[in-house]
Structure 1
Amino acid sequence: MKKMLSLAALMAATLVFGTAGTATATLWDCECTLEGSQEVPPNASTATGTGSFVLDDVAGTLDYNISYSGLSSNVVGAHIHGPAPVGANAGVLFGLIPGSPIIGQWAGMSTTHTNLVATGLTYVNIHSNNFPGGEIRGQITCTPVTAVEESSWGRVKQLFR
């Protein structure tokens, strides 16, 4: 009888946990190069910067590491803007804390925001006193890296592979 109850409990647990809904996430490797020539309109700033990002389209997160140097004056703002292709301006989607490097995570992204980042319609803009509209800018470009099963059961299984 105990074996039968244990088997029934195991089957019930498998049914509940083993068939939990899953979604497949694509992890995106993204980057940008920041320069004054990418601003709209372009400027003659000699400052430069780089950004590296990892986008998870199911978790709705964008991990970022952005560094820059050589600005002509103090930083007054840093943001991710969109939607905009190269050569166009757009509003702020996400504020960044100025400083170099800027390291953090944009969590709770909407599907619209993850799609904008994945399709290259966002950019990083670093604003300074001398260039309040933006001293350096870099369009974020992404490449899909891998698909990952996203669920509590899927994550547990990943630990044992």
Structure 2
Amino acid sequence: MKRLALGLSTALLLLCSAAHADIITYQATLNGTNEDPQNNSSGTGQARVTIDDVLGTMTVNASFSGLSAGTTASHIHCCTALPFAGTAGVATSLPTFPAFPLGVTAGTYTETFDFSNLSTWNPAFVNNNGGNVAGAQAAFLAGLASGRAYLNIHTSAFPRGEIRGFLTEVPEPGSLALFGLGAAGLAGLRRRRVTAAAS
């Protein structure tokens, strides 16, 4: 019985890891307080970046409102020296995401990028990370995973960035459920051991 419980718990934890390997989602709350240096913008926004490591794609979803002036650019910067602090150069395409709404104070954006396409990347980011898209992708994914990448929206009032947010990983509900089942199985096994020892 002990081996069965342990085997089941291990299998569930492995399934949790396997399910997580295909799609990884990051999110950020965008505001002026998150800028460096901070600003007093009343603008706000949300960003969601979904990585599909099987297809080799990245989907960027963003919404924003209340900006002080019209948008001039938006992109993802990577990689800061420390997690969730500081500034970094632009990692994605320049001068802005393709088809990002410009000259507006509110809007939404959705675009899917192919990691293997050179146009997805800032040429300087590629050159600084091995000189090829594989190196750029590896550095970018490492930056995302370690909290050293942020999405920034620039405006004419704040050319260096009016609102930004560091991207943090969103746990998958299925993975959390599987992890919970595995943890419950291990807790049950421990409880039986304690009960048996007390008898």
TM-score, structure 1 length as denominator? 0.69
- The offset of 1:82, in angstroms, is 0.6
Give runs of ≥4 in structure 1 deviating > 6 Å. none
* Aligned residues with identical type, % of pairs: 35
- 1:91 equivalent among 84, 89, 92: 89
- The offset of 1:144, in angstroms, is 5.1
Whether 1:101 aligns to 2:108 is yes
Counterpart Cα distance in 2 of 1:29 and 1:87: 20
- The offset of 1:76, in angstroms, is 0.7
Gaps of 5+ in 2: 1-19, 102-106, 117-136, 176-199
Q: Per residue, is there more helix in 1 or in 2?
A: 2
Counterpart Cα distance in 2 of 1:76 and 1:82: 19
**Deviation string for 1:127-158 (max 9, x for gaps)?**
000100000001111135379xxxxxxxxxxx
- The offset of 1:57, in angstroms, is 2.9
Counterpart Cα distance in 1 of 2:165 and 2:85: 11
**Deviation string for 1:32-84 (max 9, x for gaps)?**
10000000000000000001221123433211210101110111111100102
What secondary structure sits across from 1:142 in the alignment? strand
Out of 76-85 and 128-137, give the one that drifted further. 76-85
TM-score, structure 2 length as denominator? 0.57
Give 2:21's aligned residue: 25
Out of 103-112 and 130-139, give the one that drifted further. 103-112
Give 1:134's aligned residue: 161
Counterpart Cα distance in 1 of 2:143 and 2:56: 12
Note the aligned Cα RMSD (angstroms): 2.0
Q: Per residue, is there more strand in 1 or in 2?
A: 1
Contact 2:39–2:162 (Cα < 8 Å) also in 1: yes
What secondary structure sits across from 2:40 in the alignment? coil
Contact 2:58–2:115 (Cα < 8 Å) also in 1: no
What secondary structure sits across from 1:45 in the alignment? coil
